[in-house]
Amino acid sequence: MRNGLLKAQHSAKMAPNQGTAILYVKTGEDMKARTIVLILAMCLVAVAVCFASDPNMGTWKLNDGKSKLVPGAPQNSTVVYEAAVDMVKVTTDGTTGDGKPMHTEWTGKFDGKDYPLTGDPSADTRSYKKVNDHTMDINNKMGGKVVVTGRIVVAADGKSRTVTTTRTDSTGKKITNVAVFDKQ
């Protein structure tokens, strides 16, 4: 660079039937910006591919006939796992233990760390931890105390998943639910 001027690549092109030259200038800053945009686009594609290959992703509906649910325990009828930039958003719809509608939302990573949970009156955080490609452990907490533990296992064919959860009821009795979901 001489005299503080930007070094640029020049290309001249004649305008059709005009006889004048049009000068196109690409500065180093333009090239850097294009490179950054290209890298970001490639990263987003890579994240999408990773999530697409995760057997948990998608919409799951409860199969009542195959499930073993304790009466009076909360239950989810629909669970949706979707990509949220570099995280996962999990949305559930179901009922509370007394039959009232419940809608929860959780956004986080499957890294075993607690992330905020909204809509569940019995828990304020949730964590998912991948055990392997088809198995995850789940914990719901309220005020830092574990209130639900569970394991999610997606079948080898990816068409169903079994969610086994254990919680303690108000009398101190352990309640275990086995919910089977079908992929939609």
**What is the CATH topology of the domain spanning 58-183?**
Lipocalin (2.40.128)
What mean pLDDT, rounded, does the chain reach?
84
Confidence of residue 153 (pLDDT cuts 50, 70, 90): very high
The Cα–Cα gap between 139 and 123 comes to: 10
Per-residue confidence band for 26, with pLDDT thresholds at 50, 70 and 90: low
Residue 103 or 27, more confident: 103
pLDDT of residue 10: 46
> For the residues 108-114, what does the mean pLDDT come to?
97
Question: Is pLDDT of 27 > 60?
Answer: yes
Averaged pLDDT, 53-68: 94
Helix or strand holding residue 75 (H, E): strand 75-84
Residue with the larger pLDDT of the pair 73 and 148 = 148
| Total residue length of the chain | 184
* Cα–Cα distance for residue pair 184/42, rounded to 1 Å: 29
